[in-house]
Amino acid sequence: MAIADYKQLLGDHGKDTKLNLSSLFNSVDTSGLTTDQFYGTALSLAYSLGDEELIQTIENETGDKVEDNVKQAAKLAATLMAMNNVYYRFLHLSSDKQFSKMPAGLRMNAMANPGVDKADFELFSLAVSALNGCGLCIDSHVKTLVQHDVTAQAIQTSIKLAAVLNAALTARKLS
């Protein structure tokens, strides 16, 4: 199913979410994101949210608008952020700073070559990090994106995608 069909499954409580989904997915060209960035971010978020119906919807909506390398990078971002967001959120929130001085010892080699442009992968990772609530990760990704001259509008759109897809899943579960 596509986004238009998914919206119909949301109850009256999801009215604003339906409008926000339409607004985002009907204005990809003016979102500040490239097609790869927009759909790669949406896929990363769907994979992170882990709901099969939402994943299928976003995959169907994406269709052949992006190449397979973008789809694989979205899966990579979701997977790596599932690990990193927990670990670095712990470091950020723990009052015992000894843990920040210890080596993480976690493999993240794929981040060095995610198969897409560095800025694209950072956008995917930022959106997932916002979804997962890792402040340390958010700061790191935003800093890198700014260094790569990614616009504030592009960054904001990636976060709006996170917020709206999260709300869409909640509305769907409540329908």
Q: Judge whether 137 counts as a catalytic residue.
A: yes
- C-alpha pair distances (Å), 53 with each of 47, 145, 164, 170: 11, 31, 16, 12
Q: Which of 130, 137, 159, 162 is catalytic?
A: 137
- Give Cα separations from 71 to 106, 114, 118 (angstroms): 24, 11, 15
Q: Give the span between the Cα atoms of 115 and 132, in whole angstroms.
A: 23
- Of the candidates 42, 46, 134, 161, the residue annotated as catalytic is 134
Cβ-based neighbour number of residue 97 at 10 Å: 8
d(CA 170, CA 175) in angstroms, rounded, equals: 9
Q: Is 128 helix (H, G, I), strand (E, B) or coil?
A: helix
Question: Which pair of structure tokens corresponds to residue 87?
Answer: 């670990």
Look up tokens 């339906």; give the residue.
Answer: 18
Alpha carbon distance 45, 114 (integer Å)? 16
Q: Is 134 a catalytic residue?
A: yes
The residues annotated with a catalytic role in the active site are: 134, 137
